[in-house]
A and B are shown apart, each in its own frame.
Chain A
Amino acid sequence: MSKKEFNRRAHIEYFNLYLNMLPQPIQSMESNRMTILYFAISGLDMLGATDRIKSKEVIEWVYAQQIVPDSKDENKLSENCGFRCGPLFGCDYNPECSRTSTYTYDRAHVAMTYTALSILKILGDDLERIDSEAVVNATAKLQQEDGSVAAISGISETDLRYMYCSCVIYTFLDNWGTFDIEKATKYILSCQSYDGGFGLVPNGESHGGSSYCAIASLALMNKLDSLPDKDFVIDWLLRKQTIGFQGRVNKPPDTCYSFWVGASLEILGSYELIDYDQNEQYIFCCQDKLGGFSKWSRSKPDPLHSYFGICGLSLMDKFNLPKINPLYGFRDLTLERPKIQEETKENENEEKENEKKEKEEKEKEEKEKEN
């Protein structure tokens, strides 16, 4: 198989495997199950293989992870509302999202709420069973005094990843509640490093992932204009391309940054300035022949890098991949899907036939000349 061939079938099988079953060695990934489900669902969606997804079953399971207000007192533990990573806590299976008892340690996680909502949108659900008020109020309570956002209520780390997740949640539910946009903007800007990129926390080293979170969050809040110098940021992003994209200065390239850095450039209107060929070349050397993409060439693929490898290719408008919405990280649902494999394969076959005929005719001519 030539390196440049996009092995769609193998990638479909790869995501399909994860959709159905997580291998035992990563049983501890239970605490990230919702995000792995998201990669599998969105990956299959990007590859045009939604026929592999039993949408109704997945939607039911996702809804069952929603923590809704307490049946007796809706203010009790209201900060816990949102989505869990999975049924880890041991609550009853409740896809109808009817109100039940709430528990101190049964808490939503902002990244799981973001990925749960994304899954539902991708599968075409109308979000009817989301308790929008409860989710928005609980998410707003995750915002700290300095404007940063925590992952779960109680005590957890706060960094730009959760800022991004919460901004997407408010956008999807079309309700920013009591979230303080000014404070959030100030916090994001305080994470900008001396070289133009954004660290994960204030004074942190500039990093591709946190830069994406910063830029996408500002865009979602309609605050991109608060960046004192957009060109300064664009310069930093563009310099992250070596062949593929690196996440930090003097580090090797890694597939997922083709998305994090690429999407940031797309949001800032400068994606077309990258070197497409080198980017493509790098992503392809990370393609595994059994499906999926790894972070570096000759290492093992994983769901995250597989998913962002495909997103990285989609940004370049290649291989009939649907256009991605750079703010959400999944397919732009407002656009029509591009024509998929079957039709293009027909065209490919036709082309091959024509080429063959031309070759035969040329050989015939040359033979006649000799004679």
Chain B
Amino acid sequence: MADRNHAAGLGTLKNKRKNVLGFMWKYKALYLISLPGLLFFVLFKYVPLLGSVIAFQNYNLFAGVTKSPWIGLEHFERMFSHYDFLKILRNTLLLGTYDILFAFTAPIVLALLLNEVRLVLYKKIIQTIFYAPHFLSWVIVSGIFVGILSPSSGIVNVILGWFGVEPIYFLGEDSYIRTVLVGSGLWRDVGWGTIIYLAALAGINPDLYEASNIDGAGRWRQTLSITLPALLPVITILFLLKIGDFLDYGFERVFVFQNPLNIQSSEILDTYIYKAGLQQLQYSYATAIGLFKSVVGLFLIAIANAISKKATGESLY
């Protein structure tokens, strides 16, 4: 009896599998079409991920991954005992913190302010201007900032000069470079960041405001009790993604502002990886740092996601 059931069970399982395979065969063209795209992700995303094992080797271009000697965690130990590395990590963490404090919150505030604008034409024009800088490359953004911050002819120093301030070489001093980096980031992307929030704001049911009006709630009260709660899911999701990028401030946006005078404060993991890896050819060491960065990012996102799931019910997965 039991045997029979077992056999029957196996039979349906077999049938089911056959059905699925038959179904897949019927739509084989779909799989064929998807093949190049899937190949892309395997080749350009997953193969280099596997290639990260060279972080545990003394990789040598001529020996390749298979024949290079394995040395365990040596590169990671070297990394943490290296004074420069700790300084660079500190720079990266500081920029990541400023990024969350300013670059993450500013678009939320700006979206709320834009949402109060009722003049349609004015709103349209101002949004057109706000979104535009996002389309400029970092090279161009740095060119513009270098120009306007120039100590001799830059418009910022000219204006400061009207108030009797001595010209400041913003890009040549350690103490200003982080401000310049965060500021140029805000300049380029703060408007762009509002788009998602504005979309969420447009989706709020107007009846809620109507009802709260009747209940005598003021604008401020409405913002706190209706608008912000409605934005919370979007804010949470974007915040989780941002946390995952905590060590990932971005290579280009920092590299284009670097010079020997500000390098002490502006060197971050990404730029250091480029210099150690592609300029000094310390392949394994640079990979170790890169792997460290990716793993920390993954951990941060997992932890933040777990906390958020418990606290707000929102999560990435």
Q: Do A and B come from one complex?
A: no
Could you tell me which B residues sit within 8 Å of A by CB distance? none
